[in-house]
Amino acid sequence: MIRSLLLASCLLLINISFGRQIIPAPVKQVAGKGTFKLSAKTQLVYTDEGEKQTADFFNDYLSTYYGFKLPVGRQAASDYIRLTSLKFVAAPANEGHYTLEVTPAGVNIQGDTYKGTFYGMQSLLQLLPVEPSKQLQVAAVNLADQPRFSYRGLHLDVCRHFFPVDYVKKYIDFLALHKMNTFHWHLTDDQGWRIEIKKYPKLTEVGGYRNGTIIGRYPGKGNDSLRYGGFYTQDEIREVVKYAAARFITVIPEIEMPGHASAAIAAYPELSCFPSESTKAPAQTAWSGTTEGKQVQQAWGVFEDVFCPTENTFKFLGDVLDEVVELFPSEYIHIGGDESPKESWKRSAFCQQLIKEKNLKDEHGLQSYFIQRMEKFLNNKGRKIIGWDEILEGGLAPNATVMSWRGEKGGIEAAKQNHTVIMTPSSHVYFDHAQSKQEDSVTIGGFSPIEKVYQYEPLPKELNASEAKYILGAQANLWTEYIKNTRKVEYQLFPRVAALSEVLWSPLEKRNYKDFETRFQQQLRRYDLWKVNYSKAYFEIKDSIAAAPGNKGLLWYLSTNIGGARILAEVLSGDTSANSGSYRDPKKQYAGPLQVSASGTGVAGIELNGRRDYRNITRRFMFNKATGKKITISTPPSSTYPGNVGAVGLVNGLTSDRGFNSPEWLGWQGKNLEAVIDLGETQPVSRVVVNVWKQEPSYIYLPKSVVVYTSSNGTDWSQPSKVAPVNEKWDDERKISIPFKQAVSTRYIRVVAENVGTIGTGKPGAGRPAWLFVDELEVY
């Protein structure tokens, strides 16, 4: 049903010509007259052997999706596609410039280099009709185009879940078809070591497999107890690198250090500061098999057992990298550097002595020493390192490139220190985040719809023109904790990769979301041609919630991207669960925001051409005295976890159990939540409830204390109740209830949830600022 609705919606959109709908938008595009007719008789002409791989790619594409190939030659007078590369002409800074001219007589693609010619061919592919035919009509056009950023990347984690070589190649094709040029291959982590190292066979024999995997969302509902894993042989690695190079894509391997090392340590325990200690199963997670000795991790998160900075470890890593650099000709090697707890280093007499001997400030300084040693090793081999933004802590290695994932702060700091930067903030370009508020499969959380990806601008306002030059580009990351199969990979990747490709390729002044949406319709039809399992979230009902004026509850706003569709919506009162007997489909046409004045269920659906799309959305509103009331917060949440609508999300009557990345949750790192709620009038209050999230392996802790204050005027405050310390026992409801000794008449409620601050010794993330996550504030 949904697919037929989508196809129908495309036909009902404003009448446009799909003939020149290219993503990413080219720098210059001028429509020509007439069409070029491409058939099996058309000659594919190339100048020299350097263009043959582009010709081969084009013919393979035609064969796969249209059922024919073109004869290849060196000359033709008419009915031709000619590839020409000006390989001896100085290329612009961001190599890849091309021109494309389509006339009724033929097609000319001219690139500044072989790479530019390849990109021109990708644009030609987008000019082809999306319905298979033996004669393809191509609209006449003139293009002049080049990329905005030199680094346009996509990442794939093959450690949490493993994907075969054939699919890795297909993933690389997806990059090529969107004019991306860098594949970041995440090959080692706590849950599996995926690259064959001849000198250390146990890395894959032992480290390549785990004895089970948690079921469901972390911390899991159990363990499947199935041995899981796999790895790539060195011959397979070479095969992938060669395949990517033929598509002008650089493969950058990631070998994690000093953290995320559990799989390597399971294979070679002497790499740990405490070789005889058994692997600890994370709290609240189910473990399968033995817990004796070192184990490959079966759950997600961050783990204390990291590489010990001994000479033996540095020799091991040097040996590993010796083999890695032979396999990957890339300028960069990614060495991780993220989420490396310092607890084992603090407990280690060796590490403490090393800190003294090297005159280091602390364990962060020790990590900097570790990274700088590995950088020097790779620099001596003619390579450069990339590390996640944690490598800034304790001092940045001299020639390192920073990959900024915890927002843009790390990237900004690195650029101001004249270091090159790749932006990859989790807020916008983590493709493991949800695309829909109604996801029917488990994701890590978060909410990054295609429009949010498109809004991302890799050049921060905080940088001046000279500093901005250090921003090489950006990439999206696809972490696979909750991505077990290739269909889910595609579901998470598409169609957001189309938006990212335009962010990284097209000039800023050419970016226009409304125009992108128009071209995007044709791109979706092309995805249908490719038979990729793309997300249909773009066509779902979009909703938002705001406080109604005059303290009269909430307003529920609805919209859809499906042209010609009607939204039907109602707010049903009382018990409206699916099993209550009172649930029903909405029947009233939506004409504006719906008033929600009491607990109930909002239900909305779509009607198109008299047919219903039964993928309704529902919102369970649970009212209390604070719902829809005016709220202010003194310290804004982290820009990475700002919630869906800011402070209003704390009093919108909705709660979420989908994880801290859900848009209902607001997060503060190392800072307190202080919120003031204006109830609108003086009334009795006897209890306040704070909804919190606890996930210690991700550095998310319960608040140290929660204090509630009341006031009749918003100025003079009294304290009727306090909870300190907060009960550390895990509470499935994740609710901290603060009862008053007796009811208090008040208009204003102030809630202060105290962050635990620096995480204590022995806890995950020790020494780092803790995260505090809050969803709903309830007043009774």
What residues are annotated to the active site?
189, 260, 339
- What residues pair up with 570 in beta bridges, in sequence order? 603
722: Cβ contacts below 8 Å, ≥ 6 apart: 705, 706, 707, 708, 738
Of residues 708, 702, 705, the one with CA closest to residue 751 = 708
- Rounded alpha-carbon distances, angstroms, from residue 239 to 234, 236, 242, 327: 9, 5, 5, 10
732: Cβ contacts below 8 Å, ≥ 6 apart: none
Helix ranges (H only) for 46-132 are: 52-66, 114-127
What is the rounded CA–CA span in Å between residue 352 and residue 364? Answer: 12
Q: What is the DSSP string of 177-218?
A: HTT--EEEEE-EETTEE-B--TT-THHHHTTTEES--B-SST
- Rounded alpha-carbon distances, angstroms, from residue 570 to 432, 438, 592, 608: 32, 18, 11, 18
311: Cβ contacts below 8 Å, ≥ 6 apart: none
Are 703 and 726 a contacting pair, CB within 8 Å? yes
Q: What single letter denotes the amino acid at residue 402?
A: V
288: Cβ contacts below 8 Å, ≥ 6 apart: 211, 212, 223, 224, 225, 226, 298
3-class secondary-structure state, position 552: coil
Sheet containing 80-85, strands listed edge to edge, beginning at the edge strand earlier in sequence: 28-39, 135-145, 98-102, 106-111, 80-85, 43-46, 72-73
Are 154 and 180 a contacting pair, CB within 8 Å? yes
Are 106 and 78 a contacting pair, CB within 8 Å? yes
434: Cβ contacts below 8 Å, ≥ 6 apart: 443, 445, 446, 447, 448, 658, 661, 662
**Hey, what are 600's tokens?**
């109930």
Are 772 and 703 a contacting pair, CB within 8 Å? yes
Report the first-to-last Cα separation within the chain, whole angstroms: 44
- By the 10 Å C-beta count (0-12 exposed, 13-18 middle, 19+ buried), 436 is classed as middle
What is the rounded CA–CA span in Å between residue 645 and residue 541? Answer: 17
DSSP 422: E
Beta strands in 396-513 (DSSP E): 401-404, 421-423, 471-476
